[in-house]
Structure 1
Amino acid sequence: MTEVIHIEPAGLGSRLEAIPPVGYLTRKALPIKRNDAEPLTREDIQYDLLYHIFNDNTQVFTNQVPGKYDKVTFRQLYVNALYHSSKCSKVLKDKMLDTPEFAVEFAKIALLTNVGRINTTMAFFPEMKTALRTYHPVPSLQKTDGNAQDAPRIKNCLKSALLASEVKKAPPSNPPEIIARYCSGMRPPTSVVNLIFVLSTHAALSQTMSRTHFDGNINFLDLFIPTNLSSPDRARAFLFIMFYYLEAPTGALKNPFGDELSEQDPAKAPRMHVLSPSEARRENVDLPEELEWGHKMSAQRNIFLQKLVSTDTRTRKQRLTPTSFPEHLNQDRLREGRAMETRHGSTMMARSCITCREALNQSVLRLGPYRRWMMTRASWSNQFMTSPPRLPQSHRPFLLLRPSHGRRTDFIGNWRKF
């Protein structure tokens, strides 16, 4: 079962003097840890949090690509960023256009990859053969056909989702650089995908964001892990931080996702309600059909792995076991050898056979000995090889061209001129 991080409530605007504990200990502990073919439940991915993030209809974000609307929702902003990525394939773009539900599901998985909850060792299609990744069905986010992507391709798509000004020049790598770009007049200062990358990395390395936007006992990445904080409140805090860095880092504009705390301090995220155990059990509840589909895909994955292992084992045995001649072929070779011995004499060497990995090609046996030998010389890796028949050879006679041929002196002992 997924471990739930319990966070103690703090007072309004309170600050802690000591370094506060966060929900994760290291960056390596953030990704979801599951065995191969094990489904990712709603609690693993925090489905209710993703639902409230992508179902918010507040159109306050500046459209980062030329379009019909100047202000869009976060759902439109994030989906457009993925669609216009240079590493987004044409097949994926067509699927996102044809099925908007698939585009939202893909964006939710991409957001989990963006913050680091899904690492690059995960894949989401059962026919995966590599041992470097593990397959995990996501029943709540795979209700439309075509969501067959793996985490490395998703991350490549995210890394290429940049603004036009960031293609040739490196994008900002920390929150102060993003704020400096905004103050210099760049609207927006960076892409929404790069902003989430920066905030996720910076939150894991420093406690500055915890003290800037929260009261010190939670951090940006704690919004995406299983916790006892309300999912709608965490979604609101996430959207508040997105609007703060993309639209109003100086506090000149009122943040539409703020509350009375943000009115006192424009950088403070809204307060989050701490759930009771009974309230927490009512969030992220898997549906029966989702559990059934997850078990079905896990069984399909296990069957695929069993077939793959049996095929590899059989292939390995065929490569290691020498291929032998059938008995009837041995008799045919014996009769052919005797006939050749009768025609060319008893000094003919017996032809040998070199065993190889592949099965024998029966058609090559019907060729003559010389053609067969030339063929096997050209493709010895998949044909049996026979040595050419050695014909009996007589000794060459020593023929003299003239009586003095080969002699340095004549018959009376004088040196000859050649």
Structure 2
Amino acid sequence: MQPGLTSIGETGRHTFLFQINVTRRCDMRCSHCYILSDKKDKSPDMSEAEFLHVVQGIVEHMQADHNFAQRYNHVDIHVIGGEPSMLGVPFFESVLPKAKVLLAMIPQAVSFSIVTNLLQKEALDVARLFDKVSTSYERSTRFKKRRHEEMWRSNVATLMEESRHPELYGPKDFAVTTALVKPVVEAGAAAMMEELYELGFTKVHFGFFIPSGDGDLNSKLIQPKHAATSQFYIELMDWYLANRDHIDDLWINPCESWLDAVYRNAPSDDVVCPIVAGALDIDSDGRTISCIEKGGTNDYVSHGNVFETREVAGEGGVTEVQFTTTIHEVLTSASYLREVVKARRLPEICRSCDERTLCQANCGVLHEQWNQKDECPGFKTFIKYVRHLVEDKGVLPKSVLERERSMGNHLIAVG
């Protein structure tokens, strides 16, 4: 999926994903983008008060909903857009320390990251304020001008070097997401990974293309066939397994997540629809939606606007403005819960599929356009290949290998 950065580097987690779209404005117009250009042109920016209201709402929901807090042991928060760095360094210098204080109040592990195109120097400066950073790269569909790609590569090189020196710059978890548009698929998995590895990336997410926003308008030119996407993933898995043991910190999704899912015979948060696993997209105008991709359009049905306010009389008769809608109210609303139930209801054609438990029908947007004849939107050919690797070839997910290695080291130490 195009927003991409989910649980790279960890498996077996129960994650709820919050996407805070601080703005939909962007200094790029990628032809595959899931956000409409018209929406980018008209987007408001979040104020500091609005941003902190969202974060406070996440914390309060965790504290108020015991069942929710028990169900999820991890909270993944993406600060995203548009291009979030367009709000400027002072905005983030002000809100991030306050947000981190709030998030420290919940017992769940929290990943707090920025998703940035890393094009301008301002984007680089803002990225430096985060411990986790994700950028994106695609061939042909991302950069309209050669100098833009050169600017991006320069900023990547700078941040990559800084991430290797946490004692000087603070810890950095730096990853890249690539949407599987036609030019990427046609380049081939090995060529794409070699290119990204040469840039320094060892944490990579290849998200399948979803036709939404500008990507929907350009889908005839840039959307690959599902069969081609499956074949790309198979070749990607081969490259990953050939290199996993001798490249430090190498973690490629969805390869690692699918190995883990098949091995445990349990669906992974990384490979099912985010609505099924748990997700909420907060738009820059306060509207909310469960489908992250559909949030890039203008005409979706919101589950509630968290930026609605009212005036109340405060002390001494001074009028105060208060937010009237909370994250908790949205996530417990009938509208949101109906959307989750709908996403979890398998399409009829999927109900007899032997991989339905792990795949859970994958993406509803893709199902809406599938002809139900060719390769399915769950990329079943790839799933079957992973099952062959795990069950017939004995390939283990990294989490199991690391656990076995740790146990072996413990026995040696005891011996």
TM-score tier after normalising by the smaller chain length:
under 0.3
Give the structure with the higher percent strand. 2
TM-score, normalised by the number of residues in structure 2: 0.25
- Say which structure, 1 or 2, has more relative contact order (CA 8 Å, 6+ apart): 2
Larger Rg: 1
